[in-house]
Each structure stands twice: as structure tokens, then as C-alpha cells.
A and B are shown apart, each in its own frame.
Chain A
Amino acid sequence: MLLLLLTQLLNSLAFAMLLFLLALGLSLIFGVARVVNLAHGAFYLLGAYLGLALGASLGSFWLALVLVPLLVGLLGVLVERFLLRGLHGRELEQVLITIGLGFILADLLRAFFGAAIRSVPPPAELAGPLFLGSFIYPKYPLFVLAMGVLLFLLVRLLLARTPFGVQVRAVTADPGMASTLGIQPARVSLLTFGIGTALAGLGGVVGAPMIALAPGLDAQMTLFALIVVVIGGLGRIEGAFWGAILVGLVDGFGRLFLPQLAMFLIFALMALVLALKPEGLLGRRMA
């Protein structure tokens, strides 16, 4: 029983790290560009399918892990530049564009890759289980877990220490003030949008061996990311991280103990947070 719980704990945390990748991108983009990117799940799915295709044609998961986020991020930059830039300040219109874009992407992926469920094997180096005495656990989720934690620490460091990180924080806090200090909010927005979508693409490549690819996964991942940022608080990476862990744990143990109700436990958690602290557990109060 204890081993079962430990297994499920690790599974939940690995899934939480995937959610963190998504929520981090969503949160960064919202903070800087004030856009809720509802195409986020579609970018995840794009990353996953691209990872599948590139991984197969190049024969290397690791190459795909590097290339796919770049490609998805590039698409994100193009979207920001040519679709969203002109609508600056019009929140609703921008969100509607991302919704439309999400549907277009998801449908094109379905048309191209088919509607069949595709499961992706983990790379050879990370295939198979790890033996720790009587505890046996697959290597791949541990890799995802480690990557998520490292990424969290890295992004925190980058935001705190690098010039670009400072610019991102400045624009998040007050775009008007930032621009009087010589920062170009438009440029920071563009780059942040690229980084955010690249993170979604990275999530897709990393997540594919854990969650089988199927049409409809995009909406599910967007929804998970939204719930995470609502619970954790939008605009702060700590909110995305702890929110993701909370949602991952509730989802994982919900599936274990109340399989029929797992999804509703997450909604109940969200409702509870909204009732008690509408700005999210670690969020700042919004006007």
C-alpha cells in the first residue's frame, strides 16, 4: 500500500511538472502581454505531434526536445506580431483570436496526423524501470520531475538576475512606467510570447511519452493550465509552480481513490479557492 501511494505521488508530481510548464508559459504571457492565451493547449499538442514526427525522422528524442520548442516558439512570435499586436489593449478580442487559433491548430493537427490515439515511447536512455530495493518505478517520470523543478529554479533565477528578466518583471508590474525607463514593452511582449509558447511546445515533447496523443487533448491541457493559474494566481511563477503541484496531487490521488470524481475534485478545489481567495493562492489582488 505504501509503495502504491509512493508511486502515485511520483506520478502526480511528474504530471504536475507538465502542468507547470503550461501554466508558466500562460502566466508569463499574461503578465507581460496581458493576453490569456487560450491556444496554449493547442501549442502543447503541436509540440507533441512535432516531437513525434521529428523524433521519428531524426531518430533522436533529444534533438526534437531542442528543435520543437524553437519551432513552436517561432510560431508564437509570428502570432503575436501579426495577429495580436494590432489589438493591443483589447483583451477580449485578443482572447477570441487565441481561441480561434487554438481550434484551427487542433483541427489541422487532427487532419494531418489522424484522429487515432498515438502513444509515444520514451527515449531509449529513459525507457524501462529503476530498481530501488523493492520499489520499482519507471525512469521517465523521474526525468520529467527533475526537469520541471530545475526549470522552475532556472526561470526564477533568470527573472531575478538577468537584464531580460528584469525587463519582463518591469513590464509585468507597469508597462507605462517600464517604457518611460527605456524598455520597449512591445519587444518584451513579443519575446515573452515566443518563450511562453515555446514552453508549451516543450511541454508537448516532454509530455507525449506520459500522456497519449489524441484529438481533444489540446482543450484538456488548456483547461488544466487555466485551473492551475486560477488556483495559484496569475502573473507569478511561484503561483504556477505550487498551483500545478496542488492540481497534480488532487488529480493523481483523486484518480486513485475516486476515479469517477477526479475531474470534479479539481473543479471543487478551484471553486473553493475562488470562494476564499479570488485572486488565487499566491496571486496579487486584481482590480
Chain B
Amino acid sequence: MMAELSREARAGSNGRQGLLRWGLVGLLLLPLALGGYPLYLATEAALLGLAAVALSLLLGHGGVPSLGQAAFLGLGAYTVGLALKAGLPLGLALLLAPLAAALLALLTGLLVFRTHGIFILMLTLAFGQMVYSAAHKWTGLTGGDDGLSLSGLSIHPVLLHLVAVGVLLAAVGGLRALLQTPYGKTLEAIRQNEEKIRSLGVPTFYYKLSLYLLTAALTGLAGSGLALHRSFISPHDLFWLTSATLMVMVLLGGSRGLWGAVFGAMLYTFVQAWVSSFTDLWGLFVGSLLVLTVLFAREGLWPLLERRLGGGRAGAEG
């Protein structure tokens, strides 16, 4: 944490850090020139990146370890899918998706934030699985195991990609700005010592709940994007493996600063595409990655990169 703060303070190396970030954006945009499967993967990475950025804000800055993000992702996807099936215009459907996710976050958050610490993780997991079983069992609405197909719709892949990257960058920029506001500073303080902040008279419950709503809405938006992108929604994407996958992305990249989550999502998406070409042991892959990340890259890879390439302190991580 201290390393993070001192790094933020050293304004001198900001130029090279900026370069690193532009490099990341460049990598996201490069597949536009290639088209086809690379473009498909890049859009996937950008949309999952949005969900990872939301989790990164929640976990790394709000201190809320949510393991139920797949529910928001899935709810966003199903909302857009069902709204389009019902004949609503695309714009309205895309508006409804984050709202539905935020509503679920409100209902569960009111209960979840009555507890603390690791219980939050258990409860978000439990409520996430509740939504999964709903999607699985409510076959009349969701199609159950067969999933929901959005075949009638065609959005040009280039347009979808540009929008996805645009939304992702806007989210990173906007949320980083939010962290500089008194609201953001208070969240940071709550993460570090909630007891102390509450005794100062700050209603920490509502800070955490509002952050939960915000990140749920963003995750719902990411989910709606994924539904349009894949033009298929499967209930299995709501399983907690997806929540753990988002966790892997965030931890792989580094849970603080939000750029790490973007990097983690890209890295994961491409590694996963490569790995899935020779194995279908999905859980083994995600699980091993999770264990290895926690054991060996606790701070995440992005801060490491920033230190190595972003100037200064290269020797700190020998």
C-alpha cells in the first residue's frame, strides 16, 4: 500500500507510466487492423476488462471482497437479451441492464453489508449462486441449459469493439477521478480502518452499499455488452467460476489503480484462448492461475511493469 502511495507521489515518472497505459490501449485497438478472431478476443477482453475494473474498484479501493460478480454480469446479459426479445429498442435495453444489476445489488447489499470481512465474500458467493440457479431453473424465461440466442441482431464487430474500448476507457478515467473526490478518499479510509471512520460519524454502510451499486451497474453493462458480442447467453456464465475468473484478472493485474484490472483482463483472455486450444480442463486452469497468482504475484503484474518500465526503482523487485 505504501509503495502505491509513494509511487503516486513521484510525479516525475508519470510520463513513462502514461506511455505504458497508451501501450495498453494500443494493444486493445491493434486487432482492429487484423479483424476476425483477434478482434473477437480483443472485444471480449475489453468487456471483461470493464467488469474487472469494477471489481478492482470494489476490492482494491473499497475493500469489499465480492465473489458474486458473475450474477451482475449475467443479469445484465439476460436483461438485454430478454428486452430485445420483447421488442424494446437497443438503447433502452442497454439502459435497463445496468439498472437491473444495480437493483439486485441493492437487494442483496442491504443484507450483505450487515456483516463484515470474509462473511461478505461468503454471502456475495451465496447470492451469486442464487441468481445462477434462477437462470438455470427458470427455463420459461431464460431457456435454461439451452441458453438464450440473440441471433437476430447484428452489430458490426468494429463498431462494437470501438464502443467497448471507449466505455472501458471512460470507466477507468471516470472512476480514477472518482477516487480523488472526497467520496473516493472516504472509501479508501474505510478500507483501511472502518471502525475509526465510523466513529468519526461517517455512515460507512451507505458508502459501501453505494459503491456496490455503482460497480454492479458497470458489471451489468459489461454483461450486456458480452451478450451482444457473443450473441448467446448461457446460464453457465453465471456460475461462480466466472466470479473467480474476474478475481483472477484483478489479482493478476493488480487490484489497485484500475489499469491493472484492464491489463489482467487482456492477459487472461489471450492466455485462456491459447490454453483452450489444447485442453478443456477449465477449472484446473482458472484454479491453478488463482493459486499461483496469490502465491507468487500478490501485488499483481501491472505494478511490477510500472516499476520496471515506468522508470525508477527497478531494483526494488529483484
Chain A contacts to B: CB under 8 angstroms: 36, 38, 83, 86-87, 91-93, 95-97, 99-108, 110-111, 219, 223, 226-227, 230, 234, 260, 263-264, 267, 270-271, 274-275, 278-279, 286-287
Contacts and interface: CB of A to CB of B under 8 A. Distances in A.
Nearest to B251: A96
Nearest to A35: B118
Contacts of B118: 36, 91-92, 95
Given A91-B117, A275-B114, 15 more contacts: A83-B291, A92-B121, A95-B121, A100-B288, A100-B291, A101-B291, A107-B281, A108-B284, A111-B281, A219-B129, A234-B119, A274-B111, A274-B112, A274-B114, A279-B115
A36 B67 CA distance: 13
A93 B125 contact: no
Contacts of A230: 119, 122-123, 126
Contacts of A105: 287
B65 A92 contact: yes
Interface stretch (B7-15, B96-104, B170-178, B237-245): B237-245
A57 B264 CA distance: 46
Contacts of A219: 129, 239-240
Given A97-B294, A271-B111, A106 B130 contact: no
Interface in B286-308: 286-291, 294-295, 298
Contacts of B289: 100
Contacts of B123: 230, 274
30 contacts: A36-B118, A36-B122, A38-B125, A91-B117, A92-B121, A93-B294, A95-B118, A96-B290, A96-B294, A97-B294, A99-B287, A100-B287, A100-B291, A100-B294, A101-B287, A102-B287, A107-B282, A107-B284, A110-B283, A223-B126, A223-B129, A230-B123, A264-B133, A267-B126, A267-B130, A274-B111, A286-B115, A286-B116, A286-B119, A287-B116
A108 B116 CA distance: 33
Contacts of B240: 219
B137 interface: yes
Nearest to B240: A219
Contacts of A278: 114-115
Interface in B127-167: 127, 129-130, 133-134, 137
Given A103-B283, A286-B116, A267 B127 contact: yes
Contacts of B51: none
A43 B186 CA distance: 41
Contact of A104 (B121, B125, B239, B284): B284
B266 interface: no
Interface residues of B, number: 40
Contacts of B241: 103
Main secondary structure of the interface of B (DSSP, over half): helix
Nearest to B107: A271
Main secondary structure of the interface of A (DSSP, over half): helix
Contacts of A87: 294
B247 interface: yes
B235 to A, nearest CB: 12
Contacts of A91: 117-118
A110 B281 CA distance: 9
A110 B283 CA distance: 10
Contacts of A104: 283-284, 287-288, 291
Nearest to A227: B126
Nearest to A266: B130
A219 B128 CA distance: 12
Contacts of B115: 274, 278-279, 286
A219 B242 CA distance: 13
A92 B240 CA distance: 16
The 7 residue pairs across chains A and B that have the minimum distance between CB atoms: A103-B287, A100-B290, A107-B283, A103-B283, A104-B287, A100-B291, A107-B284
A110 B282 CA distance: 11
A263 B130 CA distance: 8
Given A219-B239, A287-B116, A103 B294 contact: no
B284 to A, nearest CB: 4
A141 to B, nearest CB: 24
Contacts of A227: 126
B188 to A, nearest CB: 17
Contacts of A279: 115
